Amino acid sequence: MEGFKFEEQEFFACCGSSKFAKEMSKASPFSSLDEAVTAARDIWFNKVDVTGWLQAFSAHPQIGHNPSPSSHSTSAQWSKGEQSTAFATATSSSLQELSQWNTKYREKFGFVFLICASGKSTDGILAELKRRYPNRPIVEFEIAAEEQMKITELRLGKLFSTKEKVPSTGN
């Protein structure tokens, strides 16, 4: 087995930028998760343009909302899993406040509030949203891109763990 080979669509589920998925597919196969993460960071920060960043951001459901189980089902399932702590710690009033702040955030910045939610409570996410809200749009844009990269790394890990469970039958 020479390395881990994935479909472009699998990379797209990790990060919803077409350019990212295409470049990752070109750069694969990868010999390890570490190699894939290194390539992903290079592609995301150096090759995907700002429109590609916006495209990837728009693939996320609003935080605190269940993604609709539609087209990108892998991404939707992952998103639900990443927010499991948030959902477990949510009260109806905290979810309502989060929803109001999400709207406020989107009006100011033009994209959804992005945070690597894994292990974070609803109150923790809300506090972070309020802390980031006063940022200048360009500053917040870069922070969101860094959060996207954290999410991508987690999802690449999931992708690789799936592949290890199903070894190639080729040799």
Mask: binding to a second copy, 13-42, rule CB under 8 A, as x and -? ------------------------------
d(CA 92, CA 94): 6
Alpha-helix residue ranges (DSSP H) falling in the chain: 8-14, 18-27, 33-42, 50-57, 73-82, 84-89, 92-109, 122-132, 137-165
Residue matched to tokens 């990379």: 11
By CB under 8 A, name the one of 70, 92, 93, 136 that touches a second copy: 136
By CB under 8 A, name the one of 27, 39, 54, 116 that touches a second copy: 54
The interface region with a second copy, picked from 22-30, 50-58, 59-67, 76-84 by CB under 8 A, is 50-58
Is residue 86 within 8 Å of residue 64, measured between CB atoms?
yes
**65 noted as active-site residue:** no
By CB under 8 A, name the one of 41, 49, 96, 103 that touches a second copy: 49
C-alpha torsion sign, points 65, 147, 25, 23? positive
By CB under 8 A, name the one of 110, 127, 130, 162 that touches a second copy: 110
- Applying CB under 8 A, the residues found at the interface with a second copy are 45-54, 108-111, 136-138, 141-142, 145
Q: Report the catalytic residues.
A: 60
